[in-house]
Each structure stands twice: as structure tokens, then as C-alpha cells.
Structure 1
Amino acid sequence: MPNYLLAYHGGGEPESEAAQAAVMLAWNEWLDATGEAMLDLGSPVGATMSVGSDGSVGPAPADPISGYSIIEADDMAAALEIARGCPVLADGGTVEVSELVDMDFDDEDDDDEDDEDD
């Protein structure tokens, strides 16, 4: 089953302790609802900068990532359905859903060790 990156954009900071408690409750309920599909809860994101192809450093894009999670789902449609329940949406944010691509990297050091075992 493929894995998907949920990249959260926007959402606000709760203005009171009661609002913060309500937001945390919403997140906990959503996490419970995702069940075993939630592989990595991820984290909120703090300060954001951008590095250009020429190495220049500048401010983040107009709509920077505010957090992320990694889920497992049967397909993109199922991943989107999980994302539709994300509490960041209730606060005006968005969820970007991207399928993670499995990559097999040949580690030259591992190949050398394998050669020695032959």
C-alpha cells in the first residue's frame, strides 16, 4: 500500500487556552479516526526559509508548510478522504496530499561488503 505525505498549509494559532484545548481535541479525534493509516504523526513547522537553485536564501513561499504527517492508504482517493477530516481545514488551512515514491538506492559501501562475502 502506498504512503502519502500530508503537507499542512495555513491554519491559525488558537487565541485562548479554551480554543487551544478545542483544537487539540479535534486533532486527537481525527488521529483516532485515521487508525493504523497514520504512520508518522509528523510535526508542526516553525520558521521557514527558502534556498534557491543558485544557493540564495530568501523568505518562504507565499503559502509555506505549517506541518506534516505521513499516512498509508490504498490509493490517492483514500488518502484524500483521510485528508478531508484534517482539523487544519476547519481553521481555513489546506492539506496538500502527495504520494511518496519508493526509491531503491544502491549503497556502494553495501555492494563492497556483499562482494567480500562472496
Structure 2
Amino acid sequence: MPNYLLAYHGGGEPESEEAQAAVMLAWNEWLEATGEAMLDLGSPVGATMTVGSDGAVGPAPADPVSGYSIIEADDMDAALEIAKGCPVLADGGSVEVSELVDMEFDDEDDDDDDEDEDD
């Protein structure tokens, strides 16, 4: 089953302790509803900068990522259904859903290093 990155954009900062408690309750309820599909709840994101291909450093894009999670779902449609329940949407934010691609890396160099250590 594929994994999906949920990248959160926007959403506001709760202005009171009561509002913060309500937001946390909504996130906890959504987390419970996702069940085993939630592989990594992730984290909110703080300060954001951008590094360009020429190495230039600049300000964040107009709609920077505000947090992320990683889920497992049967397909993109199932991942989108999970994302539709995300509490960031109730606060005017959005959820970008991206399928994570499995990458195969050649570990031959690591095997050679292990053999050298045994010699």
C-alpha cells in the first residue's frame, strides 16, 4: 500500500487557550479517525526560507508549508478522503496530498566498506 505526504498550508494561530484546546481536540479526533493509516503525525513547521538552484537564499513562498503528516492509503482517492477530514481545513488552510515514491538505492558501496573492515 502506498504512503502519502500530507503537506499543510495555512491555518491560523489560535488566539486563546480555549481556541487552542478546541484545535487540539479536533486534531486528536482526526488522528483517532485515521487509525492505522497515520504512519507519522509529523509536526508543525516554523520559520521557512527557500534555497534556489543557484544557491540564492530567499523568503518563503507565498503559501509555505505549515506542517506535515505521512499516511498509508490504498490509492490517491483514499488518501484524499483522509485529507478531507484534516482540521487545518476548518481554519481556512489546505492540504497538499502527494504519493511518496519508493526509491531503490544501491548499497554496494556499503557492502564494500563492510568487507574492508573485516580484512
TM-score range, shorter chain: over 0.9
Pairs aligned (count): 118
Unpaired segments ≥5 residues, structure 1: none
Instruction: Spell out structure 1 runs of 4+ moving beyond 4 A.
Output: 113-118
Which is worse superposed, 103-112 or 89-98? 103-112
The TM-score with structure 1 as length reference comes to 0.94
For residue 112 of structure 1, report the CA deviation from its aligned partner.
1.5
- Aligned counterparts of 1:95 and 1:79: Cα–Cα separation in 2: 11
For residue 116 of structure 1, report the CA deviation from its aligned partner.
9.5
Once the two structures are superposed, residues 35-54 of structure 1 have per-residue CA deviations (whole angstroms, 9 ceiling, x without a partner) of: 00000000000000000000
For residue 86 of structure 1, report the CA deviation from its aligned partner.
0.0
The TM-score with structure 2 as length reference comes to 0.93
For residue 107 of structure 1, report the CA deviation from its aligned partner.
2.4
For residue 74 of structure 1, report the CA deviation from its aligned partner.
0.1
Aligned partner of residue 112 in structure 2, secondary structure: helix
Aligned to 1:117: 118
Unpaired segments ≥5 residues, structure 2: none
Once the two structures are superposed, residues 66-105 of structure 1 have per-residue CA deviations (whole angstroms, 9 ceiling, x without a partner) of: 0000000000000000000000000000000000000000
**Percent of aligned pairs with the same amino acid:** 92
- Aligned counterparts of 2:41 and 2:61: Cα–Cα separation in 1: 24
For residue 61 of structure 1, report the CA deviation from its aligned partner.
0.4
Which is worse superposed, 105-114 or 20-29? 105-114
Please report the RMSD computed on the Cα atoms of aligned residues, expressed in angstroms.
1.9
Matched, 1:66 2:66: yes
